[in-house]
Amino acid sequence: MEDKKTCSSCTDTSCATKNRRENESEHDFADRQRLESRLCRIKNKIVVLSGKGGVGKSTVAVNLATALALAGQRVGLLDVDIHGPSIPTMLGIQGQALKGEPGELLPVEVGGLKVMSVGFLLQNPDDAIIWRGPMKMGVIKQFLTDVNWGDLDYLIVDAPPGTGDEPLSVCQLIQPLTGAVIVTTPQKVAAVDVRKSVSFCKRLDVPVLGIVENMSGFVCPKCGELTQILPQGAGRQIASDMNVPFLGAIPIDPDVARAADSGKAFIGQFAQTNTGKIMQQIISQITDPDKNKKLNA
């Protein structure tokens, strides 16, 4: 039976959740305590961000979470990409009915990973598109408050793309964040958005764990030659310009897309391939406590 910590039974008098804030209603205070009592059981909370959709943010989130679970960590993967929740498809758990009771949602367990997706809430995948702004924010907040993860070493959060109100809500509600991983593609056009994402993190005091350049060249499956299909290097350049770590470049690899479509994490099956090794190097930089002192603090 899991120990149910609550704010009222907690002895940490220094916690900001102990006392009601000025101008905070009873209701908001109770909500904040409920959210905090869930989040304080999670050691490391990492958000995966991108300047725009389609660059591989969910791919990085799924593979990071799976690699950590395979390494024996207790891991949760939260998909709050309200416009395109693709994690259930990538892990072969689409169409799952939500389990739990009102106010208490239980994540779906797959391969040692606890998964919760906003996609499980949508009976029709087009539903989220018609929600107005405040509704989206309400759904994100309720969702974060209600999911019962239990004790975790890592929570990996697949955030909505961009730097608007939705990722802002996610980063403000999940506090304190260990840090953010920012995913981009290598062309200069994407660079403008990455700059915004880095500034967004700096403004919110979220440490940038690093930038991942995805779809960076294509490795020929026959001869192994790397061809730069898109203009290259923007992720590396921005990382150096903005003084944040560059974590590595993942090539376009048909097996990455195939694994996602077949509902199995790439890293679980292809860890020994060139792309798999690149991913592992990226992941170890995110999670190595010596390289990133903020982790496991």
- Positions touching ligand ADP (CB under 6 A) are 50, 53-59, 84, 86, 214-215, 250, 252-253, 256-257, 260
Least gap, CB of 178 to ligand ADP (angstroms): 20
Residue 53 CA to chain centroid, in angstroms? 14
Whole-angstrom distance, CA of residue 4 vs CA of residue 14:
20
Q: How far is the CB of 289 from ligand ADP (least distance, A)?
A: 27
Nearer to ligand ADP by C-beta: 180 or 250? Answer: 250
CA distance 179 to 196: 16
Q: Residue 55 Cβ, how far from ligand ADP at the closest point, in Å?
A: 4
What token pair was written down for 176?
């304190």
E strands, the chain, in order:
42-50, 75-79, 99-101, 104-106, 108-110, 113-117, 152-158, 179-184, 208-219, 226-227, 246-252
- What span, in angstroms and rounded, lies between the C-alpha atoms of 71 and 62? 14
CB of 173 to ligand ADP, least distance (A): 20
Residue 31 vs 255, nearer CB to ligand ADP: 255
The CB-of-101 to ligand ADP minimum distance in angstroms stands at 31
| Cα–Cα distance measured from residue 274 to residue 121, given in angstroms and rounded to the nearest whole number | 37
